Structure 1
Amino acid sequence: MISIQAQQTLSMYTRDGVRLDADVYFPKGAGPFPVLLMRQPYGRAIASTVVYAHPRWYAAHGYIVAIQDVRGRGTSEGEFSLFAYEVLDGEDAVEWAARLPGSDGQVAMYGFSYQGMTQLQAAQSAHPALKTIVPAMTGYHLYEDWAYENGALCFHLGLVWAIQLAAQTAQIEGDSQTYQKLVAAARTLPTDESTPGWREVLADVDTFFHDWVSAPKGDRYWQQLTPQLDQVDLPMLHVGGWFDPYLRGDLRRYLEMAARSRYLHHFWVGPWIHIPWGRKVGAMDFGPAAASPIDRLQLQWFDGILKGENMAKLRQSPPVNLFEMGRNQWRSLDAWPTEQMTEQTTEQLAVNSAVSRSEDKTKPENNTITYFLYSDGLANVREDSGVLSESLTQMPQFDTLVHDPWNPCPAAGGHSSIPAGVFERTAVDARGDVLTYTSAPFAEELRVVGVPKVVIAIAASTTSYDLCAILSRVVRGNVYNLTQGYGRFQHLADRELVGQNSPGQSLKGRSVSLPLHPTCFSLFPGESLRLSLSAACYPAFSINLGTGASQQESKAVDARIIMLTIALGGNIADQWPGCDGTLLKLPVVLD
C-alpha cells in the first residue's frame, strides 16, 4: 500500500452547465493512475462504506478514487429525478474522470444499488475511457427488477426508499416541515390507507413512487429509465445477494452480457441482504466464510483489467461463484445452471453424484427434481397434512386457501421484506391462511442451485389474486426460509355458474407458474424441505383486494375475501382441462 494525498473536493460541469461535486482521493507518487468512479445520491461522504472499504483503501492500492454526488444531491447543483439524468451525466463524469490530474485515462466504476444503476447508464454511452464496471445488487429492468416482482408491487421497499429520498430532498432544500413529516413517517411506516396513510404522506411530495404505482407495465416511463446495453460490451464483475431484492436483475444482466460479450464476466452471490454484507443474515449466522470478499475481489479485478496484473489467473478463474447456504462455503461453477435440465429422482441423483465424483468432472451436471403436492385437505391447519413427494397420487385432491385483506399473511424475512434475511417462520406457517407441504427427512444430502419454480393448478373466486411461495429448511422442529417467489395474477373469475355464492357453484381452474428467487443451498440427511403457499406477504407486497382494480385505483373499502382452490394429485385434467396438478421443480447441481 502507498501513501495518499489529502482528500480534495473537485467539481465538473455537465454539457447543460450543471455543476457536480466529488471527493477525490489521489495516491502519492508520479503515477499515472487509473481512476475508480462512484456516482451516488446519498451524500458523497458516505461513499457506500456501509458495504465497501473507504475510498482511501483503494487509493492506497494505486488508484485515483472519485466519489461524486449525482445531480441535485449532496452539494451538486440541479434537480434530482430518479435515474433520469444518469446516462448523459454519467458520460460526462467518465470524460471528466479520465482527465483528472495524474490519470492514465482509464476509468472503472463501482458501487451497489443506485450506484450500480449509474454504472449501467454511464456504460450505455460506450465512452472509450470506461474500461470496466462492477455493478452490485442493482436492478436491470426498472419494472421487473426494481418496482415489481411478477406483477406485484414491491410495496415496503419502494415506499421506504421513496420516503428516504424525499426526506433528503427536503433537507437539501431546507424544508424543515416536510423533512420532519417524512422522518416521522419513516419511523412509523404508513402502510395502509388510514391516517397518516402513505398517499397522504407523499401527496405533496415529488417522488418516483407515484409513477411506480400508476404507470402500467410497458409504459414509456419504464423503458426510458431502463439501461439500454444492447451495443455495450465491457468486462463486468457482477455481485448479488441471496436475500437482496435486486438479485433477479443481477442474474438477468449477467446471463445476457456473458452470453454475447467478448470480455470476462464474473458473477459472485453471497448470502447477504442489501445492507450489510456479513455473516449474520437475519437470525442465521452463516459463519466466517460469509464475510464479504468483495473489496479484495474488486481490487483483483481492477488490477487485472486496468493494470494487466495476473490476467491469466483472472481468466482461468471460474466465472460463477456462489455461497452455498447449509454447507456455508463458496462453490465455483463454470456456468449458471440453465433451465434445460434432466428430470431425475433423488435415488438417481445419489447414484449420478457418486459417478460424477469418481469421474472428477470440472463442469457440474444440471438436473431437476419434481415434487408433487398432496394432502388430506388440512394443509392450512396441520403441518403433518401437506406432503411433498416425488410420487404422483392419481386421486385428485383439493386444498382451499382463504385470504382476508383485513388480516393478510405477514412477511417474515426473505428478499423483499424489512428486515430481510433468514428467520424462524413456524408461527407464520401455523396460520390458517397458509398451506404447508413438507417432504420426508432426506436420506442423502441435496444440493440446490438455480431458480426453483412452482406450477400451481388453481381456481379463484375473484378476478385477481396473489400467490406467495416460500421454500424452507425444516430442522429439529424449526423452519428457516431459504427462498421465495411472489406474483400477482389477473383474469376473469373462475366461476362457471351464476351467483357469487351459489352452494352448487363449480370452479374451473388454470395452471400458473411462479419462479422463486435464485438460490443455492444444501439440505443434509435428516432435514426436510417445506413449501408454504399463501395469498399475501404484507407489507413486503401490497395487499391484493380482489377487485382487479389497478394499484392506483385500489381502495381498502372495496376489499373482498379471496378463496383459492388448489388442485393436487393426478387426473386433474378430467375436471380442469389443461391443468396438470400442482408441483415444485427444484434445480439440482451434482458435484
Structure 2
Amino acid sequence: MKTTIHLILVCMGLFAHAFAQQPKPAVEIIAGGTAAQGYDIQDSVLIKTREGMQLSAMVVRKKGAGKPQPAALFFTIYANHDGNLAEAKRSADHGYIGVVVNSRGKALSPDEINPYEKESTDVNGAVDWASKHPWTDGRVAIYGGSYSGFSAWAATKHLHPALKTIVPYVAAIPGFGLPMENNVFLNANYGWGFYVSNNKYLDEHLYYDQQHWRNMQFNWYNSGVAYRKIDSIEGRPNPLLQRWIQHPSYDQYWQDMVPWQEEFAKINIPVLSVTGYYDDGQISALRYFKEHYKYNKQADHYLIIGPYDHFGAQKGGVPILRDYKVDQIALINTAQITYDWLDYVLKAGPKPALLKDKINYQVMGANRWKHAPSIEKMSNQVLRLYLSTEKSGENQLLLPKKPGQPAFSPQKVDLADRQHSNNNNYYPYPIVGNELDRSTGLYFISAPFDEQVSIDGIWSGILKAGINKKDMDIGMTLFEVMPNGERFHLSYFLGRASYAKDMTRRSLLKEGTINSIPFSSTRMFSRYLSKGSRLLLVLDINKNPFAQINYGTGRDVSDESIADAKVPLNIKWYNDSYIDIPVWKY
C-alpha cells in the first residue's frame, strides 16, 4: 500500500450574507498602536463591523509617505503577530498602506471563531474600513494565497466600489477543492479546523503532529466505520467536518461562500490569478477563471500557471520540485509580480512583463513560457484516445480510432479488503520516477509520438461503465512514459460518478446498463514531449485511507461502512470510453 501522505494546507471558506453598502461608515476603529523605525504602525486595531463583530487588524505605512496611498489588504485566518506585521510592512515598502486583517474571532477579536462562515461579510467590512482610513486614498486591492486568495474572491461576491483589483494565489473554492474534490471528501486537511480554531492564534503543536494524523487516517480506514464517525476514531469531536458532510452536493450552503454563476458577470475589476500544475487546489483556482469568463466575456482576468505546488506558487517556485528539476525560466517572484500588478492597475505603471496574454503558462521541459487568449487556444489539436481492450505487454492500448466492436475490460474491487488499497499512484510525488504500483487498476498506453509535441491545457473525456452497484469514486492518473522508460506525472482526476454530470445534484448510476460518466475537472498542465514519448493512463477505483470510501449503496456515503461491502464492486469499462488530450503540434 502506498503510504506517502502529503498534508495539504489549502484554505477553505464558508460565507453568509452580503455586505450591504450604506452611505455611513460600516465600521468604527478601536485603535492601539506601536512605533517602529521607518514605519508608522497600528498593530492593535479592532474593526467594529455593522453587525457588531470585531476584527483584529494591523495597519502600516512608511514614515514620511506624504499623500494618502492605496491600501493593499491581506485578509487571513492565520493570526500570527510577527508574520502579519511583516506582511503589512512589505506592502508599505512597495508604496502602499499595508493592511492585514484576521478572520473573526482571531488575534484580538473577542468573537467566536467561525472559519469561513462570515468571510463575504467581514472581508467587505474590512474593505470599507480600509477605504475610509485617513492614510488611504479610498482605493483598496486584495491579494494573497490560500485562505487569503479565497478571501479575495469572497469579497467579490458582492463587490464593494472601493475594491479595485484582486490578486488571488492558489485560491480554494469550499466544497469544490477541499474539503471535498469533485464531491469526494478528503482527509488531507482533517486537522485544519483544530489548527485555526483551538485558540486565538494557531495550534501548531497539534496540527504539525503528522504521525498523529497519519495514524488517525489508517486507524479509520482499517476500522471500516462510517465516515461520519471518523472523529470518534481521532478522539475528539470535529464540528467543522460534521457541518461540511451535511452537504455532499455543491448546494446552496457552498454556493453562498464565493461567486456563483451569474454573480461572476458583475465582477468587472482586473484580476490576476496564480496557481501551479501541482497545486492541490488547482481545480478551484481554475474554476474561478473559467466561470469568470463564462459569465463575463469582457472579464479582465489574467492567469499565471507553472510547475509549482500549493506553497511554491505563492513565492514563485523552487528549483527541485518532488524530484523534478524545474526549468530555470519557470522560477518567478510572485510577490514582485503582485506589486507590479498593483502599480499597473492603481498607479498607471507598466503591465508585468510576463503577462503577454490572458493565460501565461510555462512549458515543462522546454524552458519557455507560452501565452494564449483562452484555455481552448492553448492547443491547436485535440487528440482523442480510446481505452481499448487490446493488450500490449502488461498494458492495454490507448487507440486514436474508436474500436469497431463493443468490448469491455472487467475490474473487481473488494471494498472490504483492508490489506490492499486502490488508486495508489494518483498523487504526484515524485513527479519523475520509475516505480509504479500495479497491484490494482487498469493501465492503458499510447503509441509513441512520432514527432515533438506539447500537451497544453486541461484533459477531459467520457467513461462508459457498467457496475453492479449505484455509485463509485473514480481515480485516473496520466503519465508521460519517456523514451528512457522514466515516468513523468502529468495530472490526475478524482471524482464521484454520481455527480459527474452535475456537482449540485446526485444522479445514481443504473445497474445492468452502460452509464456515461463525463469528467473535466482535471489538473491543467503544459509539458513538452519528445519524439518517442508515450502516454500512460491509470484507471482505478478510489479506496484508501486518504478519502471517504464509497460503498455504492446509493445512500449518503458518509453513512456507509464496511458492513455495506459484502458484495464486491464489479465494473465493466467499455472500449468506447475515451480521453481528450489538448496537444500543440509544432
Aligned to 2:571: 564
Counterpart for residue 32 of structure 2: none
Give the CA RMSD over aligned residues. 3.2
- Render the CA deviation track for 1:352-394: whole Å, top value 9, x for unaligned: xxxxxxxxxxxx66321111232446x8xx53x3112223442
Equivalent residue, structure 2, for 1:341: none
Q: Return the match for 1:274 from 302, 305, 310.
A: 310
SS in 2 for 1:448: strand
Report the counterpart of residue 485 of structure 1 in structure 2: 493
Q: One-letter code of the match for 2:231?
A: R
> Where do 1:188-267 residues align within 5 Å?
188-191=215-218, 192=220, 198-200=230-232, 204-228=236-260, 229-230=263-264, 231-258=266-293, 260=296, 264-267=300-303
- Which residue in the other structure is 2:356 paired with? 317
Once the two structures are superposed, the pairs formed by residues 541-580 of structure 1 within 5 Å of their partners are: 541-559=547-565, 560-568=567-575
Q: Is the 8 A contact 1:243 1:414 kept in 2?
A: no
Counterpart contact for 2:453–2:528, Cα < 8 Å? yes
User: Residues 387, 365 of structure 1: CA spacing in aligned structure 2 closer, same or farther, 3 A cutoff?
Assistant: closer
Match of residue 408 from structure 1: 421
Question: 1: distance between equivalents of 2:255 and 2:457?
Answer: 28
SS in 2 for 1:97: helix
* Equivalenced residues, count: 520
- Compared CA separation, residues 296 and 492, structure 1 to 2 (3 A): closer
What residue number does 1:391 align with?
401
Instruction: State the AA in 2 paired with 1:170.
Output: N
Aligned-partner residue type, residue 427 of structure 1: L
SS state at 2:433 partner: coil
Residue matched to 2:534: 528
Aligned pairs for 1:121-160 within 5 A? 121-140=154-173, 142-153=174-185, 155-157=186-188, 160=189
Deviation for aligned residue 1:262: 5.0
Superposition misfits of 4+ residues, deviation over 6 angstroms:
173-176, 180-184, 313-316
Give how far 1:308 is off: 1.3
* 1:59 Cα offset (Å): 1.9
CA contact (8 A) 1:453 1:584 kept: yes
For 1:480 and 1:48, locate their aligned partners in 2 and report how far apart those are by CA, in whole Å. Answer: 38
Deviation of 1:152 (Å): 2.2
Task: State whether residues 163 and 182 of structure 1, in contact with CA within 8 Å, keep that contact through their aligned partners in structure 2.
Answer: no
1:584 is matched with which residue? 579
The C-alpha deviation readout for 1:519-549, integer Å capped at 9, x for no partner, is 2222111211111111126344322223333
CA gap 1:148/1:366 in 2 versus in 1, 3 angstroms: farther
| Residue 442 in structure 1 maps to residue 449 in structure 2 | yes
Q: State yes or no: 1:119 paired with 2:152.
A: yes
Q: Which moved more, 1:257-266 or 1:284-293?
A: 257-266
Mapped partners of 1:371, 1:48: distance in 2: 49
Q: Which stretch of the first structure deviates more once superposed, 269-278 or 389-398?
A: 389-398
1:335 counterpart (374, 378, 390): 374
In the aligned structure 2, how far is the partner of 1:173 from the partner of 1:251?
A: 30
By how many angstroms is 1:425 displaced?
Answer: 6.4
Provide the C-alpha distance between the structure 2 equivalents of 1:209 and 1:335, rounded to a whole number of angstroms: 36
Contact 2:327 2:366 in 1 (8 A): no
Cα pair distance change 1:171/1:400, threshold 3 Å: same
Change over 3 Å in CA distance of 1:269–1:179 after alignment to 2: closer
Cα distance between partner residues in 2 of 1:331 and 1:180? 39
Post-superposition shift, 1:266? Answer: 0.7
The answer on 1:69 being equivalent to 2:82 is no
Distance, in Å, in 2 between the alignment partners of 1:436 and 1:413 is 13
Matches within 5 A, 1:295-310: 295-310=335-350
3-state SS, counterpart of residue 533 of structure 1:
strand
Shift of the 249–202 alpha-carbon distance from structure 1 to 2, 3 Å rule, reads same
Q: Which residue identity does 1:88 align to in structure 2?
A: T
Q: Which runs of 5+ in 2 are unaligned?
A: 1-36, 499-507
8 Å contact from structure 1 (residues 234, 261) kept in 2: no
CA contact (8 A) 1:412 1:423 kept: no
1:365-384 alignment runs, 5 A limit: 366-376=380-390, 382-383=393-394
1:238 is displaced (CA, Å) by: 1.2
1:492-531 aligned within 5 A = 492=509, 494-495=511-512, 508-515=513-520, 516-531=522-537
Structure 1 residue 21 and structure 2 residue 85: aligned? no
Query: By how many angstroms is 1:436 displaced?
Result: 0.8
* Counterpart for residue 426 of structure 1: 435
CA contact (8 A) 2:68 2:135 kept: yes
Deviates more, 1:328-337 or 1:299-308: 328-337
Opposite residue 273 of structure 2, the aligned amino acid is H
Could you tell me how far apart the structure 2 residues matched to 1:556 and 1:464 are?
15
Q: Is the 8 A contact 1:370 1:584 kept in 2?
A: yes
The CA deviation at 1:174 is: 11
Alpha-carbon distance in 1 for matches of 2:108, 2:432: 40
Contact 1:321 1:331 in 2 (8 A): yes
Shift in alpha-carbon separation, 1:43–1:209, aligned structure 2, 3 A = same
Q: State the alpha-carbon separation in 2 of the partners of residues 173 and 61 from structure 1.
A: 27
Does structure 2 conserve the Cα–Cα contact (< 8 Å) formed by 1:33 and 1:102? yes
Which shows bigger deviation, 197-206 or 36-45? 197-206
1:583 maps to amino acid? Y
Shift of 1:437: 1.1
What's 1:291 paired with? 331
Q: Tell me by how many angstroms 1:261 deviates.
A: 6.2
CA distance in 2, matches of 1:316, 1:189: 44
Relative to structure 1, is the Cα distance of residues 202 and 214 closer, same or farther in structure 2, using a 3 angstrom cutoff? farther
Deviations 1:214-237 (A, max 9, x none): 223154322332335343321111
Alignment deviations for residues 259-300 of structure 1 (CA, whole Å, 9 cap, x no partner):
526563111112212123323332212132232432122111
Preserved CA contact (<8 Å) 1:284 1:422: yes
Specify whether residues 550 and 304 from structure 1 end up closer, same or farther in structure 2 by C-alpha distance, changes over 3 A only. Answer: same
- Partner residue of 1:86 out of 110, 114, 119: 119
CA distance in 1, matches of 2:98, 2:427: 34
User: Cα offset for 1:493?
Assistant: 5.1
- TM-aligned CA deviation for residue 81 of structure 1: 1.9
How many angstroms does 1:47 deviate by?
4.7
Take 1:124 and 1:528, find their aligned partners in 2: how far apart are those partners?
43
Q: Secondary structure of 2:199's partner?
A: helix
* Corresponding residue SS for 1:240: strand
Deviation readout 1:476-525 (Å, 9 max, x if unpaired): 22222101112222435533xxxxxxxxxxxx423322223222222111
Equivalent position of 1:40 in the other structure: 76
Give distance in 1, aligned partners of 2:133 and 2:302: 29
Task: Give TM-score scaled by structure 1 length.
Answer: 0.80
8 Å contact kept, 2:478–2:489: yes
- Corresponding position of 2:34: none
Separation in structure 2 between the aligned mates of residue 396 and residue 465 of structure 1, nearest angstrom: 23
Change (3 A) 1:284 1:16: same
Tell me, yes or no, if structure 1 residue 5 matches structure 2 residue 44.
no
CA contact (8 A) 1:376 1:397 kept: no
